[in-house]
């Protein structure tokens, strides 16, 4: 938990968009790991194994009738200091713009982007977490990046007009 607790929570929050659910999911993940530690075969890294469990746990939580009605809103932003108030405002605006574009992508594209960019996972690790082939991961990541680029260009063009 000390090594991966925050990453598991962040991933759970990304998947659900709700702090309370991320708390519950994180607890469930580590309880599950504790109960089934003997099933870890070492075919993937511990982090990859934890992310796969987190994803499956989040999916189970989201399948409930109540959760299907919940819309993803908000996001976690780490506290950090900046040299000036202006740079802090500019960075926050930039981050918000990027996050809005990411959240407009279909879930399968959002997820590969976050696992790649935020968690620096390899194609193989992402494939294990998502339960798809590496080719599918590469394809989704390529499409996600292209969609991000296109959306960013559209946003920029809109702001200039």
Mean predicted confidence (pLDDT) in 53-57: 92
Q: Rounded CA gap, 54 and 52, in Å? A: 5
Q: Rounded CA gap, 94 and 3, in Å? A: 30
The count of other CB atoms within 10 Å of the CB of residue 52 is 17
Residue pointed to by tokens 């702001």:
159
Angle at 126 between CA 5 and CA 154, to 5 degrees: 100
pLDDT above 50 for 74:
no
The pLDDT tens digits for 84-131 are 666 566 666 666 677 778 888 898 999 998 888 888 889 999 999 999
Instruction: Give Cα separations from 116 to 126, 133, 159 (angstroms).
Output: 8, 15, 29
Q: What domains, with CATH codes, occur in the chain?
A: 1-76 (1.10.1740.10), 84-161 (1.10.10.10)
């Amino acid at each position: 938990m000390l090594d991966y607790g925050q990453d598991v929570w962040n991933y759970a929050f990304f998947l659900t968009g709700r702090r309370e659910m991320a708390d519950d999911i994180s607890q469930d993940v580590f309880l599950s790991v504790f109960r089934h530690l003997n099933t870890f075969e070492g075919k993937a890294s511990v982090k990859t194994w934890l992310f796969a469990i987190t994803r499956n746990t989040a999916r189970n939580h989201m399948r409930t009738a109540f959760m299907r009605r919940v819309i993803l809103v908000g996001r976690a932003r780490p506290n950090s200091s900046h040299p000036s108030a202006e740079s802090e405002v500019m960075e926050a605006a930039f981050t918000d713009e990027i996050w809005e574009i990411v959240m407009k992508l279909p879930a399968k594209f959002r997820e590969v982007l976050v696992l790649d960019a935020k968690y620096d996972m390899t194609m193989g690790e992402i494939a294990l977490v998502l339960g798809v082939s590496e080719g599918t991961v590469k394809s989704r990541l390529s499409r996600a990046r292209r969609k991000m680029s296109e959306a960013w260009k559209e946003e920029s063009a809109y702001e200039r007009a």
